[in-house]
Structure 1
């Protein structure tokens, strides 16, 4: 499953640094971890189970910056199933 542009835009916002954020987006449960700057870097998307874990898919984000701190790469990659 490819991430929709509206979801990527939502994940592109800054959130609280170094936290796990839970939300619902278009009928899917989302849980994502943020880095020290507040960027979403690890995403679990699917259905939340009774134990709080999400059963669905796991994505990881690659953020690369040049020497001046300019963002040169922002890419979400499917890493497999989340259970």
Structure 2
């Protein structure tokens, strides 16, 4: 089972366009991730893209817990298996 490395975690800690699907390449992997209404990546697909652009690999989901002031209390990526 794959884990998210430090370089990938650094890329996923940035803020992107809100409610969008962002496609990138990193090393030998193709990435696609969905952002929430604040532009934070929440769902990640990592692997190799086929000719239609769909990622064959693994899916991760982000668990973000914030306090009443909006500060992030918990930030964790869970591997949800093969896609």
Give yes or no for TM over 0.5.
Answer: yes
Structure 1 residue 23 corresponds to structure 2 residue 27: no
Provide the TM-score with structure 1 as the length reference.
0.96
Question: How many residues in Structure 1 have an aligned counterpart in Structure 2?
Answer: 82
1:59: how far off?
0.2
Tell me the alpha carbon deviations over residues 25-82 of structure 1, each in whole angstroms, 9 at most, x when there is no partner.
0110000000000000000000000111100000000111011211100000000101
More RCO (CA 8 Å, sep 6+)? 2
Q: Tell me the C-alpha RMSD between the 2 structures.
A: 0.6
Q: Structure 1: which 5+ runs fail to align? A: none
Q: Structure 2: which 5+ runs fail to align? A: none
